[in-house]
Amino acid sequence: MSASVISPVNPSSSADALASRPRALIDSFNRRIDYLRVSITDRCDLRCQYCLPEDFKGFEEPANWLTHDEMARLIGLFVGFGVAKIRLTGGEPLTRRGVSELATKIAALDGVTDLAISTNGTRLARHAAELRQAGVRRLNVSLDTLDAATFKEITRRDRLQDVLDGLDTAHRVGFDSIKINCVVHSQSNEEDIARLLDFTMAKGFILRLIETMPMGDSGRQYKHVNLNEMGARLGERYGLVATVEHRGPGPARYWATRDNIPALGLITPMSQHFCASCNRVRLSVDGTLYLCLGQENQISLGTALRKGATDDELRQLILAGIAAKPERHEFTTAPERVIRVMAKTGG
Protein backbone atom coordinates (compact mmCIF):
# COMPACT_ATOMS: atom_id res chain seq x y z
CA MET A 1 0.00 0.00 0.00
CA SER A 2 1.40 3.37 -0.90
CA ALA A 3 1.63 6.24 1.54
CA SER A 4 -1.53 8.27 1.80
CA VAL A 5 -1.89 11.88 2.88
CA ILE A 6 -5.49 12.88 3.55
CA SER A 7 -6.60 16.27 2.25
CA PRO A 8 -9.23 18.42 3.96
CA VAL A 9 -12.82 17.55 3.15
CA ASN A 10 -14.99 20.23 1.54
CA PRO A 11 -16.15 22.38 4.49
CA SER A 12 -19.63 22.70 2.94
CA SER A 13 -20.26 19.07 3.83
CA SER A 14 -19.27 19.68 7.45
CA ALA A 15 -22.73 19.85 8.98
CA ASP A 16 -23.90 16.58 7.42
CA ALA A 17 -20.69 14.77 8.32
CA LEU A 18 -20.75 15.95 11.92
CA ALA A 19 -24.43 15.23 12.39
CA SER A 20 -23.81 11.59 11.54
CA ARG A 21 -20.40 11.13 13.12
CA PRO A 22 -20.08 8.06 15.34
CA ARG A 23 -19.77 8.25 19.09
CA ALA A 24 -16.62 6.18 18.71
CA LEU A 25 -13.88 6.08 16.10
CA ILE A 26 -14.37 2.86 14.13
CA ASP A 27 -12.10 2.20 11.17
CA SER A 28 -12.97 0.34 7.98
CA PHE A 29 -11.80 -2.95 9.53
CA ASN A 30 -14.21 -2.55 12.47
CA ARG A 31 -11.47 -1.69 14.96
CA ARG A 32 -12.37 0.82 17.64
CA ILE A 33 -9.69 3.48 18.07
CA ASP A 34 -9.62 4.53 21.71
CA TYR A 35 -5.88 5.09 22.30
CA LEU A 36 -3.86 8.14 21.21
CA ARG A 37 -0.09 8.36 21.50
CA VAL A 38 1.19 11.95 21.39
CA SER A 39 4.84 12.73 20.62
CA ILE A 40 5.50 16.10 22.21
CA THR A 41 9.04 16.27 20.79
CA ASP A 42 11.18 14.26 18.40
CA ARG A 43 14.36 15.33 20.24
CA CYS A 44 16.14 12.94 22.58
CA ASP A 45 19.13 13.16 24.91
CA LEU A 46 20.20 9.60 24.05
CA ARG A 47 21.22 8.15 20.68
CA CYS A 48 20.17 4.51 20.87
CA GLN A 49 21.76 2.69 17.96
CA TYR A 50 18.51 1.08 16.76
CA CYS A 51 16.67 4.42 16.87
CA LEU A 52 18.78 7.46 15.94
CA PRO A 53 22.09 7.84 14.09
CA GLU A 54 24.76 9.56 16.19
CA ASP A 55 24.87 12.58 13.88
CA PHE A 56 21.12 12.75 13.11
CA LYS A 57 20.03 16.26 12.17
CA GLY A 58 16.57 15.70 10.69
CA PHE A 59 14.54 16.92 13.66
CA GLU A 60 11.38 18.98 13.29
CA GLU A 61 11.94 22.74 13.45
CA PRO A 62 10.76 24.15 16.82
CA ALA A 63 8.60 26.69 14.96
CA ASN A 64 6.52 23.75 13.72
CA TRP A 65 6.03 22.20 17.15
CA LEU A 66 2.47 22.43 18.36
CA THR A 67 2.15 24.45 21.54
CA HIS A 68 0.78 22.68 24.58
CA ASP A 69 -2.53 24.51 24.11
CA GLU A 70 -2.71 23.37 20.48
CA MET A 71 -1.94 19.80 21.50
CA ALA A 72 -4.55 19.91 24.24
CA ARG A 73 -7.10 21.16 21.71
CA LEU A 74 -6.46 18.29 19.30
CA ILE A 75 -6.37 15.73 22.10
CA GLY A 76 -9.70 17.08 23.33
CA LEU A 77 -11.25 16.40 19.92
CA PHE A 78 -10.10 12.78 20.06
CA VAL A 79 -11.45 12.44 23.59
CA GLY A 80 -14.77 13.73 22.28
CA PHE A 81 -14.80 10.73 19.94
CA GLY A 82 -14.37 8.33 22.86
CA VAL A 83 -10.58 8.10 22.97
CA ALA A 84 -9.97 7.50 26.68
CA LYS A 85 -6.32 6.44 26.79
CA ILE A 86 -3.57 9.00 26.16
CA ARG A 87 0.18 8.41 26.24
CA LEU A 88 2.78 11.19 26.00
CA THR A 89 5.91 10.11 24.14
CA GLY A 90 8.90 11.47 22.21
CA GLY A 91 11.79 11.43 21.35
CA GLU A 92 12.28 12.02 25.02
CA PRO A 93 9.25 13.95 26.29
CA LEU A 94 10.99 15.23 29.41
CA THR A 95 13.42 17.25 27.30
CA ARG A 96 10.54 19.61 26.52
CA ARG A 97 9.49 22.24 29.02
CA GLY A 98 6.03 22.25 30.52
CA VAL A 99 5.21 18.54 30.25
CA SER A 100 3.49 18.50 33.64
CA GLU A 101 1.35 21.49 32.66
CA LEU A 102 0.25 19.69 29.50
CA ALA A 103 -0.47 16.53 31.51
CA THR A 104 -2.66 18.57 33.86
CA LYS A 105 -4.69 19.87 30.90
CA ILE A 106 -5.15 16.36 29.51
CA ALA A 107 -6.03 14.77 32.84
CA ALA A 108 -8.78 17.38 33.28
CA LEU A 109 -10.52 16.36 30.04
CA ASP A 110 -13.83 14.63 30.69
CA GLY A 111 -13.49 11.09 29.37
CA VAL A 112 -9.76 10.50 29.88
CA THR A 113 -9.41 7.36 31.98
CA ASP A 114 -5.74 6.55 31.44
CA LEU A 115 -2.88 9.05 31.16
CA ALA A 116 0.62 7.60 30.79
CA ILE A 117 4.07 8.68 29.66
CA SER A 118 6.97 6.90 27.96
CA THR A 119 10.45 8.13 28.88
CA ASN A 120 14.06 7.03 28.74
CA GLY A 121 14.29 7.89 32.43
CA THR A 122 17.34 10.16 32.32
CA ARG A 123 15.34 13.12 33.70
CA LEU A 124 12.73 11.19 35.62
CA ALA A 125 14.15 11.85 39.08
CA ARG A 126 13.63 15.56 38.47
CA HIS A 127 10.07 15.29 37.13
CA ALA A 128 8.45 12.17 38.65
CA ALA A 129 6.66 13.87 41.54
CA GLU A 130 5.18 16.67 39.43
CA LEU A 131 4.04 14.21 36.76
CA ARG A 132 2.29 12.11 39.37
CA GLN A 133 0.63 15.21 40.80
CA ALA A 134 -0.42 16.30 37.28
CA GLY A 135 -2.41 13.11 36.78
CA VAL A 136 0.00 10.72 35.06
CA ARG A 137 -0.70 7.29 36.52
CA ARG A 138 1.49 4.92 34.51
CA LEU A 139 5.09 5.04 33.33
CA ASN A 140 7.00 3.14 30.66
CA VAL A 141 10.76 3.54 31.00
CA SER A 142 13.17 2.41 28.27
CA LEU A 143 16.05 0.33 29.64
CA ASP A 144 17.85 -2.40 27.71
CA THR A 145 20.55 -3.40 30.21
CA LEU A 146 21.84 -2.94 33.76
CA ASP A 147 25.47 -3.08 32.63
CA ALA A 148 26.94 0.43 32.45
CA ALA A 149 29.33 -0.33 29.60
CA THR A 150 26.61 -2.01 27.53
CA PHE A 151 24.21 0.85 28.27
CA LYS A 152 26.78 3.36 27.02
CA GLU A 153 27.38 1.28 23.88
CA ILE A 154 23.66 1.04 23.09
CA THR A 155 22.70 4.65 23.89
CA ARG A 156 26.05 6.33 23.10
CA ARG A 157 25.67 8.13 26.44
CA ASP A 158 26.85 7.36 29.99
CA ARG A 159 23.50 7.85 31.75
CA LEU A 160 22.59 4.52 33.35
CA GLN A 161 22.75 5.83 36.91
CA ASP A 162 20.42 8.70 36.00
CA VAL A 163 17.86 6.18 34.79
CA LEU A 164 18.17 4.04 37.91
CA ASP A 165 17.81 7.12 40.12
CA GLY A 166 14.72 8.10 38.14
CA LEU A 167 13.17 4.68 38.65
CA ASP A 168 13.80 4.84 42.39
CA THR A 169 12.13 8.25 42.58
CA ALA A 170 9.17 7.15 40.45
CA HIS A 171 8.67 4.11 42.64
CA ARG A 172 8.76 6.25 45.75
CA VAL A 173 6.13 8.76 44.57
CA GLY A 174 3.67 5.96 43.84
CA PHE A 175 2.77 5.53 40.17
CA ASP A 176 0.09 2.90 39.62
CA SER A 177 2.31 1.00 37.18
CA ILE A 178 5.95 1.16 36.11
CA LYS A 179 6.96 -0.89 33.09
CA ILE A 180 10.47 -1.29 31.74
CA ASN A 181 10.66 -1.45 27.94
CA CYS A 182 13.60 -3.46 26.61
CA VAL A 183 14.24 -3.60 22.86
CA VAL A 184 15.54 -7.01 21.80
CA HIS A 185 17.33 -7.96 18.57
CA SER A 186 19.70 -10.62 17.32
CA GLN A 187 22.69 -9.06 19.11
CA SER A 188 20.95 -8.87 22.50
CA ASN A 189 22.31 -11.06 25.29
CA GLU A 190 19.65 -13.25 26.88
CA GLU A 191 21.53 -13.45 30.18
CA ASP A 192 21.61 -9.65 30.28
CA ILE A 193 17.84 -9.67 29.80
CA ALA A 194 17.45 -12.27 32.56
CA ARG A 195 19.37 -9.99 34.95
CA LEU A 196 17.00 -7.19 33.99
CA LEU A 197 14.04 -9.45 34.78
CA ASP A 198 15.58 -10.23 38.19
CA PHE A 199 15.79 -6.49 38.82
CA THR A 200 12.24 -5.66 37.72
CA MET A 201 10.66 -8.51 39.66
CA ALA A 202 12.52 -7.46 42.81
CA LYS A 203 11.35 -3.86 42.37
CA GLY A 204 7.74 -4.71 41.53
CA PHE A 205 8.07 -3.40 37.97
CA ILE A 206 7.01 -5.22 34.78
CA LEU A 207 9.61 -6.00 32.13
CA ARG A 208 8.36 -5.77 28.54
CA LEU A 209 10.46 -7.15 25.71
CA ILE A 210 9.95 -5.53 22.30
CA GLU A 211 11.04 -6.91 18.95
CA THR A 212 13.10 -4.35 17.05
CA MET A 213 11.34 -2.86 14.01
CA PRO A 214 12.83 -1.79 10.65
CA MET A 215 12.11 1.93 10.98
CA GLY A 216 14.67 4.15 9.26
CA ASP A 217 18.22 3.08 8.48
CA SER A 218 19.01 2.64 12.19
CA GLY A 219 16.18 0.18 12.75
CA ARG A 220 16.92 -1.81 9.60
CA GLN A 221 20.47 -2.61 10.65
CA TYR A 222 19.23 -5.00 13.35
CA LYS A 223 17.54 -8.36 12.84
CA HIS A 224 14.64 -9.16 15.13
CA VAL A 225 14.44 -12.32 17.21
CA ASN A 226 11.28 -14.28 17.91
CA LEU A 227 10.29 -13.17 21.40
CA ASN A 228 7.67 -15.88 21.73
CA GLU A 229 10.53 -18.36 22.04
CA MET A 230 12.58 -16.21 24.42
CA GLY A 231 9.49 -15.46 26.50
CA ALA A 232 8.77 -19.17 26.88
CA ARG A 233 12.34 -19.81 28.04
CA LEU A 234 12.25 -16.98 30.56
CA GLY A 235 8.76 -17.98 31.69
CA GLU A 236 9.92 -21.51 32.46
CA ARG A 237 13.11 -20.27 34.15
CA TYR A 238 11.22 -17.89 36.47
CA GLY A 239 8.13 -19.99 37.04
CA LEU A 240 5.83 -17.64 35.13
CA VAL A 241 2.56 -18.54 33.44
CA ALA A 242 1.00 -16.99 30.33
CA THR A 243 -2.08 -14.92 31.10
CA VAL A 244 -4.66 -12.77 29.30
CA GLU A 245 -5.90 -11.18 32.52
CA HIS A 246 -3.45 -8.28 32.57
CA ARG A 247 -3.90 -6.94 29.05
CA GLY A 248 -3.62 -3.16 28.96
CA PRO A 249 -4.37 -0.59 26.24
CA GLY A 250 -1.32 -1.67 24.23
CA PRO A 251 -0.43 -4.88 22.41
CA ALA A 252 1.67 -6.67 25.04
CA ARG A 253 0.91 -10.25 26.04
CA TYR A 254 1.86 -11.02 29.63
CA TRP A 255 3.35 -13.72 31.82
CA ALA A 256 2.53 -13.66 35.54
CA THR A 257 3.89 -15.17 38.73
CA ARG A 258 2.09 -18.07 40.36
CA ASP A 259 0.26 -15.59 42.60
CA ASN A 260 -0.98 -13.73 39.51
CA ILE A 261 1.35 -10.72 39.55
CA PRO A 262 2.28 -9.65 35.98
CA ALA A 263 6.05 -9.79 35.52
CA LEU A 264 6.94 -10.15 31.84
CA GLY A 265 5.33 -8.75 28.71
CA LEU A 266 6.04 -9.50 25.05
CA ILE A 267 5.45 -7.09 22.17
CA THR A 268 5.91 -8.97 18.90
CA PRO A 269 5.19 -6.77 15.85
CA MET A 270 7.46 -8.91 13.67
CA SER A 271 6.98 -12.54 14.66
CA GLN A 272 3.31 -12.36 15.68
CA HIS A 273 1.75 -9.08 14.65
CA PHE A 274 -1.32 -7.70 16.43
CA CYS A 275 -2.73 -5.51 13.65
CA ALA A 276 -6.19 -7.11 13.75
CA SER A 277 -6.75 -5.66 17.23
CA CYS A 278 -4.94 -2.34 16.72
CA ASN A 279 -6.70 0.37 18.72
CA ARG A 280 -4.27 3.29 18.38
CA VAL A 281 -3.13 6.19 16.27
CA ARG A 282 -0.22 8.59 16.78
CA LEU A 283 0.07 12.36 16.79
CA SER A 284 3.52 13.82 16.11
CA VAL A 285 4.95 17.03 17.51
CA ASP A 286 3.91 19.03 14.42
CA GLY A 287 0.36 17.68 14.54
CA THR A 288 0.72 15.00 11.87
CA LEU A 289 -1.62 12.11 12.56
CA TYR A 290 0.00 8.79 11.69
CA LEU A 291 -2.51 5.99 11.20
CA CYS A 292 -0.01 3.11 11.43
CA LEU A 293 3.50 2.84 12.83
CA GLY A 294 4.52 0.64 9.90
CA GLN A 295 2.98 2.70 7.10
CA GLU A 296 3.28 6.29 5.89
CA ASN A 297 -0.48 7.04 5.89
CA GLN A 298 -0.89 10.43 7.55
CA ILE A 299 -3.06 13.50 7.90
CA SER A 300 -1.80 17.01 8.66
CA LEU A 301 -4.00 18.09 11.55
CA GLY A 302 -1.41 20.59 12.74
CA THR A 303 -1.26 22.35 9.40
CA ALA A 304 -5.05 22.58 9.23
CA LEU A 305 -5.22 23.88 12.79
CA ARG A 306 -2.70 26.63 12.12
CA LYS A 307 -4.54 27.63 8.95
CA GLY A 308 -7.58 28.37 11.10
CA ALA A 309 -9.61 25.16 10.85
CA THR A 310 -12.60 25.02 13.15
CA ASP A 311 -13.12 22.15 15.56
CA ASP A 312 -15.79 20.76 13.22
CA GLU A 313 -13.38 20.81 10.28
CA LEU A 314 -10.69 19.13 12.36
CA ARG A 315 -13.18 16.45 13.39
CA GLN A 316 -13.89 15.80 9.72
CA LEU A 317 -10.20 15.31 9.06
CA ILE A 318 -9.92 12.92 11.99
CA LEU A 319 -12.83 10.88 10.64
CA ALA A 320 -11.29 10.82 7.16
CA GLY A 321 -7.99 9.70 8.63
CA ILE A 322 -9.51 6.88 10.66
CA ALA A 323 -11.35 5.71 7.54
CA ALA A 324 -7.99 5.48 5.77
CA LYS A 325 -6.20 3.55 8.54
CA PRO A 326 -4.49 0.59 6.82
CA GLU A 327 -5.24 -2.98 7.71
CA ARG A 328 -1.70 -3.81 8.84
CA HIS A 329 1.93 -2.78 8.80
CA GLU A 330 4.39 -3.90 6.13
CA PHE A 331 7.47 -4.37 8.31
CA THR A 332 7.91 -7.94 7.10
CA THR A 333 6.87 -7.50 3.44
CA ALA A 334 8.28 -4.05 2.65
CA PRO A 335 10.73 -3.09 5.43
CA GLU A 336 12.23 -0.31 3.32
CA ARG A 337 8.94 1.56 3.15
CA VAL A 338 9.06 3.45 6.46
CA ILE A 339 11.94 5.90 6.17
CA ARG A 340 11.14 8.03 9.24
CA VAL A 341 13.02 7.28 12.43
CA MET A 342 11.19 5.91 15.46
CA ALA A 343 11.57 9.20 17.35
CA LYS A 344 9.38 10.90 14.74
CA THR A 345 6.24 9.11 15.90
CA GLY A 346 7.14 7.95 19.37
CA GLY A 347 6.80 4.19 18.96
Q: Are 225 and 270 in contact (CB under 8 A)?
A: no
Q: Residue 55: pLDDT band by 50, 70, 90 thresholds?
A: confident
Alpha carbons 338 and 149: distance in angstroms, whole number: 31
Residue 5 — very low, low, confident or very high, per pLDDT cuts 50/70/90?
very low
269 DSSP assignment = T
Question: How high is the mean pLDDT of the chain?
Answer: 87
Residue type, 208: R
- Measured CA to CA, the distance from residue 34 to residue 180 in angstroms comes to 23
Distance CA 92, CA 48 (A): 12
- Mean pLDDT, rounded, for 30-57: 91
Amino acid 211: pLDDT: 86
Q: Which residues of 277-288 are buried (b: 16+ CB within 10 A; e: fewer)?
A: ebbbbbbbbbbb
pLDDT at 165 exceeding the cut of 80? yes
Three-class SS of residue 175? Answer: coil
In whole angstroms, give the CA distance from residue 164 to residue 158: 12
Question: How confident is the model at residue 225, as a pLDDT?
Answer: 81
Convert the pLDDT of each residue in 222-279 to its tens digit.
677 889 899 999 999 999 999 876 666 677 889 999 999 999 999 887 776 668 889 9
What the chain holds in terms of domains, given with CATH numbers, is 5-345 (3.20.20.70)
Backbone angles phi, psi at 218, to 5 degrees: -65, -45
How does pLDDT run across 82-109, given as a tens digit for each residue? 999 999 999 999 999 999 999 999 999 9
Confidence band of 220 (pLDDT split at 50, 70, 90): low
| pTM listed for this prediction | 0.87
In eight-state DSSP terms, residue 246 is: T
Please state, in angstroms and rounded to a whole number, the distance separating the CA atoms of residues 161 and 39. Answer: 25
Task: Return all residues near 30 (Cβ < 8 A) that are at least 6 apart.
Answer: none
Three-state SS across 39-86? ECCCCCCCCCCCCCCCCCCCCCCHHHCCCHHHHHHHHHHHHHCCCCEE
Say which range, 69-83, 198-212, 232-246, has the weakest mean pLDDT: 232-246
